[in-house]
Amino acid sequence: MNIETMNEVIVGIDLGTTQSAVGVVESGFPILLANEEGSRLTPSAVWYGKSGEVEVGALALRRQGVDHVITSVKSLIGRRFDEVDESEGVVRNGGGLLLESAAGTKSPEEVSAEILKKLKSVAETQLGGEISKAVITVPAYFHDGQRAATKKAGEMAGLEVVRILSEPTAAALSYGLERLDESSKVVVFDLGGGTFDVSVLEMREGVFEVLATAGDTSLGGDDFDEALTLFAADQLGMRWSDLDAMARVTWLSEGRRVKHVLSSAEEATFRVPFVGEISVSQDRFRKLLSDHLGRMESCCRRALLDAQVESGDLDSVLMVGGSSRIPMVRKKVAAIFGKEPDMTLHPDEAIARGAAIQAGILAGTVREVLLLDVTPLSLGIETMGGLMNILIPRNTTIPCKAGEMFTNAVDFQCSMKIQVLQGERELAKDNWELGGFELPFEASGRGQARVGVEFRIDADGILSVLARDVATGKDTVIEVGSSAVDVTEAKVERMVSQSVEFAFEDMNARVFEEARLKANELLPAVKMALSQVGDLLDRSELQEVAEARAKVEKALLGNQSALLKEGVECLDRATESMATLLIEKASRSVFSPQGD
């Protein structure tokens, strides 16, 4: 009998905001598979007909303007209604959101699943067999909810998602680890259609590690199209609000065409039939983009800062994403990092090729290389006084786990609320709530209960939280991935910039809150001590205590952390001798039970 061992095929998928692609490793090389239109890139666009028909890719895109076509679903997946500013075609669904279509409302996962189904069928046609496993890439900046939702979309498309891979890691993989020496550091700069992502990676002992990552989930080529188009409309005396959907599609696609021309020409002409034309120079284009370029720069600087890497230490700056073709973007990147970026990667295909390589590694067709990723934002739980207690700091290499012991703050408390938070702010309320649960334990005196909380992040970046009541050994586990849709307001990048912007206020609030908790413990204790041993103190001591008390009480009414902290310290010092007296009194009553 002739037995042939065959490795199962796992495909690699770049599920992009504007374009998606699928690839596999064949004879050791990553190749992308072409769809029936002969293109290796499939537009991430989905159209639903009234009677349930679905079209994906270029076919769907052709209907834009005439019919409702869903695009850029990646910017909505795994996010909460309050988090997205695009409200057109988006309806609230509890905390989450749904998209409108002619066939009723659809979840972002369902829409993404249609794109994935299409890519699956492209691969099946090209490879001549059924495909059931895939590696899917997501921006490094995606939080747990977005990663989990992407995984779910894969499952809805009939794919087992064997790995969620960060895009910069995929880019570095397709650059080729063999081109990187031990401890070399690279930057992956990815500017696509709707998102911007910049990461610093390091090769250490043959292992690839993401040191830091930053980005902007709403910055990309679409913004450049829009800036160009709005400028042209204004110059041609057109009001954007007067244009209907069809006209806007025409204008925007002209904007995109002009943008592409400007990547290789000094000047381009924006032309709209029956309206007019206007010439756009590089200089004008630079002005239109200057805001965006500024935002890009601050993300790059933050990534370097977080990674604690000087631009002089960088071995390469890799540029990927369709918008990295814009000469002005390249110039800016060269200026920021102080070196010419490496343009050897294919801007549109590098991520999908990297995903294919990772898929090959997992399927056993490519030599194993270990890849490490990091957490984009800090993870923690809410503790007394509404403070954020970080368990896993931002930019921690995953997979990872971390734990801490907590206790009850109140006598006879019989449960504890565990609120899982993600973010960089000092106060719990300013961070995102990823989920929470009530952990019951046996009622006991204050500080007696022992609750261990452990956070675990698996290789896919999905977080699960385990809480254990030490007394009973009872565990409660939640997978936060699925409830992460309940994330509040702001976006990831806004969170990071706000943590810098409000660093001073936040710190002040934390110090105040900590001092307030201390004061609330101290004041009643001092009152009780005075009633017991107050008559043993001399006048000056009594006055010192009274002054310190007044100082604390006054500071509690205000919001100045320094004053309150100082007051609490004063009160602590002023009551030292009283504390000694109390202890003496207590021991006397122990040794002479009749009293003296």
Residues with catalytic roles: 14, 74, 167, 190
Q: How far is the CB of 142 from ligand ADP (least distance, A)?
A: 13
Q: How far is the CB of 30 from Mg ion (least distance, A)?
A: 16
Cβ closer to ligand ADP: 57 or 567? Answer: 57
Cβ closer to Mg ion: 69 or 191? Answer: 191
- Cβ burial 242-262 (10 Å sphere, 16+ → b, else e): ebeeebebbbbebbbbbbbeb
Quick check: 330 and 198 in contact, CB under 8 A? no
Structure token digits, residue 300 = 């790059």
Cβ closer to ligand ADP: 321 or 354? Answer: 321
Residues 326-345 touching ligand ADP, rule: CB under 6 A, are 326
Structure token digits, residue 151 = 């995984």
Q: How far is the CB of 89 from ligand ADP (least distance, A)?
A: 19
When binding is defined by CB under 5 A, the residue of 192, 194, 221, 481 that contacts Mg ion is 192
Q: How far is the CB of 322 from ligand ADP (least distance, A)?
A: 2
Q: How far is the CB of 16 from ligand ADP (least distance, A)?
A: 3
Quick check: 99 and 70 in contact, CB under 8 A? yes
Residue 567 interacting with ligand ADP (CB under 6 A): no
Report the 10 Å Cβ neighbour count for 513: 18
When binding is defined by CB under 6 A, the residue of 63, 133, 179, 260 that contacts ligand ADP is 260
Residue 322 interacting with Mg ion (CB under 5 A): no
Cβ closer to Mg ion: 319 or 391? Answer: 319
Residue 323 interacting with ligand ADP (CB under 6 A): yes
The letter for the amino acid at 360 is G
Rounded to whole angstroms, how far apart are CA atoms 506 and 425?
7
| Count of residues interacting with Mg ion (CB under 5 A) | 2
**Residue 342: strand, helix, or coil:** strand
Residue 101 interacting with ligand ADP (CB under 6 A): no
Q: Which stretch binds Mg ion (CB under 5 A): 2-10, 191-199, 291-299, 362-370?
A: 191-199
Rounded to whole angstroms, how far apart are CA atoms 305 and 259?
32
Cβ closer to Mg ion: 189 or 441? Answer: 189
- Cβ burial 14-41 (10 Å sphere, 16+ → b, else e): bbbbbbbbbbbbeeeebbbbbbeeeebb
When binding is defined by CB under 5 A, the residue of 12, 16, 57, 461 that contacts Mg ion is 16
- Among residues 272, 290, 260, 282, the alpha carbon closest in space to that of 235 is found at 272
Residue 16 interacting with ligand ADP (CB under 6 A): yes
Q: Which of ligand ADP, Mg ion, none is residue 202 near (CB under 5 to 8 Å by kind)?
A: none
Q: Which residues contact 553 (CB under 8 A, 6 or more apart)?
A: 523
Quick check: 233 and 240 in contact, CB under 8 A? yes
Quick check: 449 and 407 in contact, CB under 8 A? yes
Rounded to whole angstroms, how far apart are CA atoms 125 and 36?
9
Q: How far is CA 578 from CA 257, 432, 529, 546, in A?
A: 80, 44, 7, 13
Q: Which stretch binds ligand ADP (CB under 6 A): 13-21, 63-71, 356-364, 439-447?
A: 13-21
Q: How far is the CB of 260 from ligand ADP (least distance, A)?
A: 4
Q: Which of ligand ADP, Mg ion, none is residue 433 near (CB under 5 to 8 Å by kind)?
A: none
Structure token digits, residue 313 = 């230490």
Report the 10 Å Cβ neighbour count for 337: 20
| 3-state percent helix, strand, coil for the chain, nearest multiple of 5 | 45, 30, 30
Q: In what order do the strands lie in the sheet with 54-56?
A: 54-56, 45-48, 69-71
The dihedral through the CA atoms of 156, 162, 166, 172 has a sign that is: negative
Residues 452-511 touching ligand ADP, rule: CB under 6 A, are none
| Count of residues interacting with ligand ADP (CB under 6 A) | 21
Cβ closer to ligand ADP: 348 or 426? Answer: 348
**Residue 288: strand, helix, or coil:** helix
Q: Which stretch binds ligand ADP (CB under 6 A): 270-278, 287-295, 317-325, 552-560?
A: 317-325
Residue 217 interacting with ligand ADP (CB under 6 A): no
Cβ closer to Mg ion: 192 or 341? Answer: 192
Q: Which stretch binds ligand ADP (CB under 6 A): 58-66, 193-201, 438-446, 516-524?
A: 193-201
Rounded to whole angstroms, how far apart are CA atoms 427 and 425?
6
Cβ closer to Mg ion: 16 or 78? Answer: 16
Cβ closer to Mg ion: 16 or 96? Answer: 16
Q: How far is the CB of 222 from ligand ADP (least distance, A)?
A: 6
Q: Which stretch binds ligand ADP (CB under 6 A): 95-103, 259-267, 418-426, 513-521?
A: 259-267
Rounded to whole angstroms, how far apart are CA atoms 238 and 231?
10
Residue 17 interacting with ligand ADP (CB under 6 A): yes
Residue 19 interacting with ligand ADP (CB under 6 A): yes
Is the peptide bond between 327 and the residue preceding it cis, with omega within 30 degrees of 0?
no
Residue 220 interacting with ligand ADP (CB under 6 A): yes
Residue 325 interacting with ligand ADP (CB under 6 A): yes
Q: Which residues contact 87 (CB under 8 A, 6 or more apart)?
A: none
Structure token digits, residue 444 = 């006991």
Q: How far is the CB of 244 from Mg ion (least distance, A)?
A: 31
When binding is defined by CB under 6 A, the residue of 166, 195, 365, 408 that contacts ligand ADP is 195
Residue 18 interacting with ligand ADP (CB under 6 A): yes
Rounded to whole angstroms, how far apart are CA atoms 144 and 485?
9
Q: How far is the CB of 175 from Mg ion (least distance, A)?
A: 15
Residues that bind ligand ADP (CB under 6 A): 16-19, 192-195, 220-222, 256, 259-260, 263, 321-323, 325-326, 348
Residues that bind Mg ion (CB under 5 A): 16, 192
